[in-house]
């Protein structure tokens, strides 16, 4: 069957929508033909497949529980195949992509990624795909779990205000991506049209304490990264695979702070990780964790143990199981690391419980490191003998700029803008400017714990930097009078007074 004729050309379909002329009847006619043709094929193949993989006859009928990410439907405990009705609704919705950035997402179920579907190997799935009447576009679905033309795409082209029904047997166990496959396919995927279906192996998966659904994907916007307002899809950037955002679960921060995944020390965690693309391959990694068991490629079997980073192709998946042994906030990243720290591919798993110092000690000592032959005066050290006691404002700005570029810029960025969810801004920072003594204390002692800077929350660790009083006074004078800040200078005396 030639699927290409069924996929409406975008430009034509837009025109047709605008003019309100007869494209819907044409679509319906095509759909009718497709449904009539495919239903027969699918049910015939389906029944054969069911006979081949079922242990016993098909029994009963049920409606699948679908969940929004990061939730996963409960494990299926049946020991026989059944007929499963899946009802999925496509909605085009405007939502937040990043703080202050809006996007018109095309979704399976109202959010990105699409709703998680869980069936059992051998189940006969009756799929009902509805396209909400307020939507502008025709859509369909290609489930990688489906054996059949277009993975169901051909049978599911659906106009706004219609529902398509097709059926298939879930012959192959594993974790599979599904996505819209209406032309231009890349645009429908880029707008958020992907999700996952787990075909649970008939012997089940080993029991774990927590199961979560995490899906990476990228967005291409007309404006630059973090440019505010409603952003349109940018086809040129998409063709170049020059993503503005790479995110987990549909937006920057979707799994951070109070939306973080959670677990307790001693528990086992399973992540169903997918990559919707449309363009990039994910190097999925959790900072400070090791995956104990991995189903590479989302396949039915564990094929690796003790893995640091799993490769997840666009349109692919992986299942990773691991135990959590130590309380901390673990950071999920795409280890193509600029995507994590600059484009949003960063999520959190917060593990609570008692710390066992034999698993991990935390920092035990900070000792001065003076290798033989090193020049003492180049080592920043709080008691450096030659530190000046008075500096002019111009000298402070000069010294401060140097210290800033050598030390602070790595985290707070050369522009002082920081990095959302990781390093707070110093530029126009209300937190920095509100309290001089507090700023001095941060430079003297480092800083951890939750803070709010310019309305955004941060909960990171700024290390103690071992700077002398003159350097602290200078760098604070500099940052309090740069990047749009203006404040009075910080003197060496003031810093000295805060040292205990």
Binding site for Cu ion (CB under 5 A): 139, 180, 182, 188, 193
Contact flag: residue 442 with ligand HEC (CB under 6 A) = yes
Question: Do 406 and 412 contact (CB within 8 A), yes or no?
Answer: no
Q: Which of 15, 29, 379, 410 touches ligand HEC by CB under 6 A?
A: 410
| Cβ within 8 Å of residue 134, ≥6 positions away | 91, 92, 160
What is the Cβ-side half-sphere exposure of residue 157, based on CA atoms within 13 angstroms? 25
DSSP state letter for 86? E
Complex with ligand HEC: residue 354 or 461, whichever CB lies closer: 461
CB of 430 to ligand HEC, least distance (A): 8
Residue from 479, 490, 492, 495 touching ligand HEC (CB under 6 A): that is 479
Asked whether 5 and 155 are in contact (CB, 8 A), the reply is no
The reply to whether 473 sits near ligand HEC by the rule CB under 6 A is no
Per DSSP, the three-state class of 107 is strand
Contact call for residue 341 and ligand HEC (CB under 6 A): no
Q: How far is the CB of 399 from ligand HEC (least distance, A)?
A: 11
Q: Is 107 left (phi over 0), alpha (psi -120 to 50) or beta?
A: beta
Cα–Cα separations (whole angstroms), residue 291 to 284, 310, 398: 11, 9, 48
By DSSP bridging, strand 174-179 and strand 162-169 are unpaired
Compute the least distance from the CB of residue 21 to Cu ion, in Å.
21
Pairing of strands 328-334, 346-352: antiparallel
Residue 424 is a binding residue for ligand HEC (CB under 6 A): yes
| Percent of the chain that is helix, strand, coil (3-state, to 5) | 25, 30, 45
Identify the three-state secondary structure at position 341: helix
CA atoms 453, 458, 459, 465: torsion sign: negative
Please tell me whether residue 453 binds ligand HEC under the rule CB under 6 A: yes
Binder among 90, 412, 420, 477 for ligand HEC (CB under 6 A): 412
Q: Enumerate residues 6+ apart whose C-beta is below 8 A from 33.
A: none
Residue 414 binds to ligand HEC (criterion: CB under 6 A): no
Using rule CB under 6 A, residue 449 touches ligand HEC: yes
444 binds ligand HEC (CB under 6 A): no
Q: Which does 180 bind (CB under 5 to 8 A by kind): Cu ion, ligand HEC, none?
A: Cu ion
Q: Match 């450096």 to its residue by tokens.
A: 384
Is residue 458 a contact residue for ligand HEC (CB under 6 A)? Answer: yes
426 is a contact residue toward ligand HEC (CB under 6 A): yes
Q: Token match 């992540």: residue?
A: 271
CB of 485 to ligand HEC, least distance (A): 10
182 makes contact, choosing from Cu ion, ligand HEC, none, with CB < 5 to 8 Å by partner type, with: Cu ion
CB of 193 to Cu ion, least distance (A): 5
Is residue 257 classed as helix, strand or coil in its secondary structure? Answer: helix
**431 contact choice in ligand HEC, Cu ion, none (CB below 5 to 8 Å, kind-dependent):** ligand HEC
Q: Which of 274, 317, 318 is nearest to 293 (CA)?
A: 318
Residue 437 sits in the site that holds ligand HEC (CB under 6 A): no
Minimum CB distance to ligand HEC smaller for 133 or for 449: 449
| 7, 280, 328, 432: which one binds ligand HEC (CB under 6 A) | 432
Element at 211 (helix H, strand E): strand 210-219
State yes or no: residue 70 binds ligand HEC (CB under 6 A).
Answer: no
Give the interface segment with ligand HEC, choosing from 93-101, 233-241, 258-266, 431-439 (CB under 6 A). Answer: 431-439
Distance CA 347, CA 333 (A): 7
Q: C-beta of 159: minimal distance to Cu ion in Å?
A: 12
Q: Judged by CB, which is closer to ligand HEC: 43, or 482?
A: 482
Q: By the criterion CB under 6 A, which residues form the site for ligand HEC?
A: 403, 407-408, 410-412, 423-426, 429, 431-432, 439, 442-443, 447-449, 451, 453, 458-463, 465, 475, 479
């Amino acid at each position: 069957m030639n699927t290409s004729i069924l996929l409406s050309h975008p430009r034509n379909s837009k025109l047709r929508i605008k003019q309100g002329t007869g494209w819907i009847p044409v679509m319906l006619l095509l759909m009718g033909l497709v449904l009539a043709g495919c239903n027969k094929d699918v049910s015939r193949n389906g029944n054969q497949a069911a006979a081949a993989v079922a242990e016993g006859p098909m029994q009963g009928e049920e409606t699948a529980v679908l969940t929004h990410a990061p939730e996963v439907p409960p494990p299926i405990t049946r020991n026989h195949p059944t007929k499963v009705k899946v009802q999925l609704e496509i909605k085009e919705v405007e939502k937040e992509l990043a703080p202050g950035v809006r996007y018109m997402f095309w979704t399976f179920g109202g959010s990105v990624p699409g709703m998680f579907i869980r069936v059992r190997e051998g189940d006969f799935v009756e799929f009902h795909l509805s396209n909400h009447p307020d939507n502008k576009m025709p859509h369909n679905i290609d489930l990688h779990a489906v054996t059949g033309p277009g993975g169901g795409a051909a049978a599911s082209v659906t106009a706004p205000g219609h529902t398509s029904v097709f059926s298939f047997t879930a012959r192959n166990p594993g974790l599979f991506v599904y996505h819209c496959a209406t032309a231009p396919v890349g645009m429908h995927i880029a707008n958020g049209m992907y999700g996952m279906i787990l075909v649970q192996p008939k012997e089940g998966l080993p029991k774990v304490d927590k199961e979560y659904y995490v899906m990476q994907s990228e967005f291409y916007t007309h404006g630059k990264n973090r440019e505010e307002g409603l952003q349109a899809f940018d086809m040129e950037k998409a063709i170049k695979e020059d993503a503005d955002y790479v995110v987990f679960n549909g937006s920057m921060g979707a799994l951070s702070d109070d939306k973080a995944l959670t677990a307790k020390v001693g528990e086992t965690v399973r992540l169903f990780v997918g990559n919707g693309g449309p363009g990039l391959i994910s190097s999925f990694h959790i900072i400070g964790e090791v995956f104990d068991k991995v189903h590479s490629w989302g396949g039915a079997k564990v094929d690796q143990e003790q893995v640091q980073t799993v490769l997840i192709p666009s349109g692919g998946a992986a299942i990773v199981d691991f135990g959590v042994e130590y309380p901390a906030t673990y950071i999920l990243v795409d280890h193509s690391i600029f995507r994590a720290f600059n484009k949003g591919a960063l999520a959190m798993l917060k593990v609570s419980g008692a710390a066992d110092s034999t698993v991990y000690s935390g920092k035990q000592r900070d000792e001065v490191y003076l290798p033989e032959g090193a020049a003492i005066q180049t080592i920043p050290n709080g008691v450096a003998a030659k530190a000046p006691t008075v500096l002019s404002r111009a000298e402070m700005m000069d010294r401060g700029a140097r210290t800033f570029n050598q030390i602070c810029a790595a985290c707070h960025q050369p522009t002082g803008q920081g990095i959302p969810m990781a390093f707070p801004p110093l530029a126009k920072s209300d937190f920095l400017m509100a309290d001089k003594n507090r700023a001095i204390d941060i430079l003297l002692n480092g800083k951890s714990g939750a803070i709010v800077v310019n309305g955004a929350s941060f909960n990171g660790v700024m290390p103690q930097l071992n700077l002398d009083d003159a350097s602290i006074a200078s760098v604070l004078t500099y940052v309090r009078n740069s990047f749009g800040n203006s404040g009075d200078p910080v003197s060496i005396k003031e810093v000295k007074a805060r040292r205990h």
